[in-house]
Chain A
Amino acid sequence: NAGVTQTPKFQVLKTGQSMTLQCAQDMNHEYMSWYRQDPGMGLRLIHYSVGAGITDQGEVPNGYNVSRSTTEDFPLRLLSAAPSQTSVYFCASSYLQGASGELFFGEGSRLTVL
């Protein structure tokens, strides 16, 4: 099983460039989310979605856009990259009413903004 797949694994951008981090899951999960992880800050929620066509902001949404046109995909767009967006980004998904509450994570995308 593929689980949660993120691409690219590594990316270097220049300030002001835009890019999209891709996330796909094959578990038919309703819930998908994006986190960023910085040293000493832990995982912080950027955006999340509870189903196709529904998205909402998390703790640190500024500078990022998301859309959810299908159940499987949840891309994260950086509109104009800034050095403060240098981080490791994780996509995660789960069932909305899952008994275990398990959140499945991708392997991460490491982004450096110069």
Chain B
Amino acid sequence: SQKIEQNSEALNIQEGKTATLTCNYTNYSPAYLQWYRQDPGRGPVFLLLIRENEKEKRKERLKVTFDTTLKQSLFHITASQPADSATYLCAPSKNAGNMLTFGGGTRLMVKP
């Protein structure tokens, strides 16, 4: 069965540094990969979608890569801020936006 792995341990970084989160998947060949942000007590919020034919996608301070050979996506936040502290979820999928399967999420803590 398909498996999605995100580092379950919290990632602690200093403000201003680049945060890099990893999403690995197995037994799966997704056409899309999405990243969401979830704050405590709130629902997830969509950040970025990358397609299998795109190697990299950027949005402001966010950058996502998608390596279908390694079966891995990397999510980068440059010049991180304490407000970036949250849990980040990845979701590889065959169909954009439908029947998404999510990883367990990685909690990011940015310290001032």
* Chain A residues at the B interface, C-beta cutoff of 8 Å: 4, 31, 33, 35, 40-43, 45, 48, 50, 58-59, 90, 92, 94-96, 98-108
Contact = CB atoms under 8 A, between A and B. Distances in A.
A8 to B, nearest CB: 15
Interface string B43-66: 111100100000000000000000
Contacts of A31: 97-98
B83 interface: no
26 contacts: A31-B98, A42-B89, A42-B102, A42-B103, A42-B105, A43-B44, A43-B89, A43-B102, A45-B99, A59-B101, A92-B43, A96-B97, A98-B97, A100-B49, A100-B96, A101-B32, A101-B97, A102-B49, A103-B36, A103-B91, A105-B44, A105-B45, A106-B43, A107-B43, A108-B41, A108-B43
Contacts of A42: 4, 89, 102-105
B54 to A, nearest CB: 13
Q: How large is the interface on B (under 10, 10 to 19, 20 to 34, 35 or more residues)?
A: 20 to 34
Interface of B: 4, 8, 32, 34, 36, 41-46, 49, 89, 91, 93, 95-105
